[in-house]
Amino acid sequence: MTNQDRPHRADSARTMRTILEAAEQVYGANPAATIEQVADAAGVARSTVHRRFATREALLDALSTWANEQFNAAVDAARPETTPPLIGLYQVTANVLRVKRSWAFAMNRAGHTHPGMPSLLSRCDELFGRAREAGLLREDVDPRWATRVYRALIEEVCHPDNDAEDPDALATAVVDTLLRGVGSPSARL
């Protein structure tokens, strides 16, 4: 690769990210928006978007793939396999909330499955297994069940009606609710 190729590739990557960020905003506000509206929001020519994405569906697929990559990178950055379980749980939560709230349209796109989801769920099960071993979860709690409850809490926090902004405060609320619940300490079955 020549030195002249590097700036061209960097420009291309920036343009791609600009288009995808614009698509997230435009489609988040209006799922029926056109590629032309995305191009306008990105500040690029319509032909620039069409050169990269032959159809609206191709753009939507690329948007979901990009969001999935951001999601995986967020989990990787938390290093859940090596950090202490409580810290890993909090950091994964905060990182995931940042991505899910920034890329809400792409992450929640109806009918789109994220190819990395089975791997992420497995990693989550492992983290909850470590949390149980560390005494953060009761011995009788199935890590897979904890993962499902955790995912439900994440989805609820990311619901469009929830206007709370601070991912760190939201992560604290999710982890606290997961580990301590919402019942009174005197409540017993």
The answer to whether residues 49 and 124 belong to one domain is: no
Convert the pLDDT of each residue in 155-169 to its tens digit: 888 876 777 778 899
pLDDT at 22: 95
42 and 103 belong to one structural domain = no
The rounded distance, in Å, linking the Cα atoms of 122 and 143 is: 10
In a domain, 186, yes or no: no
Instruction: Tell me, yes or no, whether 73 and 118 share the same domain.
Output: yes
- Report how far residue 181's alpha carbon sits from residue 61's, in angstroms, rounded to the nearest whole number: 37
pLDDT at residue 187, rounded to an integer:
67
For position 157, which CATH number holds?
A: 1.10.357.10
Q: Which of 165, 27, 23 is nearest to 101 (CA)?
A: 165
Quick one: which of 155, 154, 137 has its CA closest to 146?
137
Tally helices (H) and strands (E) across the chain.
Answer: 9, 0
Do 32 and 120 belong to one domain? no
176 HSE (CA, 13 A, CB side):
8
pLDDT in tens, 97-137: 988 888 888 887 745 555 556 677 788 888 888 988 999 98
Is pLDDT above 90 for 183?
no
Would residue 114 count as lying in a domain?
Answer: yes
Q: How confident is the model at residue 58 (pLDDT cuts 50, 70, 90)?
A: very high
Q: What is the pTM of this model?
A: 0.78
What integer pLDDT is reported at residue 166 of this predicted model?
A: 84
Q: Does residue 43 or residue 117 have the better pLDDT?
A: 43
Do 40 and 84 share a domain, yes or no?
no
Distance of CA 85 to the CA centre of its chain: 20
- Is residue 187 situated within a structural domain? no
Q: Between these two residues, 7 and 30, which has the higher pLDDT value?
A: 30
Mean per-residue pLDDT for 40-64? 93
91 and 44: one domain? Answer: no
Number of folded domains that form the chain: 2
Calculate mean pLDDT across residues 70-84: 89
Q: Is residue 185 part of a domain?
A: no
- Residue 104 corresponds to which tokens in the numbers above? 């809400």
40 and 24 together in one domain: yes
Residue 175's CB is within 10 A of a number of other CB atoms, namely: 20
Q: Which residue has the tokens 């090596």?
A: 82
Mean pLDDT of the chain: 85
Shared domain check, 86 and 171: yes
pLDDT(172) > 80: yes
Q: How many CB atoms lie within 10 A of CB 84?
A: 12
Is-contact 105 31, C-beta < 8 A? Answer: yes
99 contact partners, CB below 8 Å, separation of at least 6: 67, 70, 71, 74, 107
**Is 5's pLDDT higher than 60?**
no
Tokens for 29, please give them: 């506000």
**Of residues 23, 12, 28, 104, the one with CA closest to residue 56:** 23
Question: Which domain range does residue 131 map to?
Answer: 62-180
pLDDT score for 4 = 53
More confident residue, 121 or 175: 175
96, two tokens: 């995931």
Determine contact, residues 106/77, Cβ cutoff 8 Å.
no
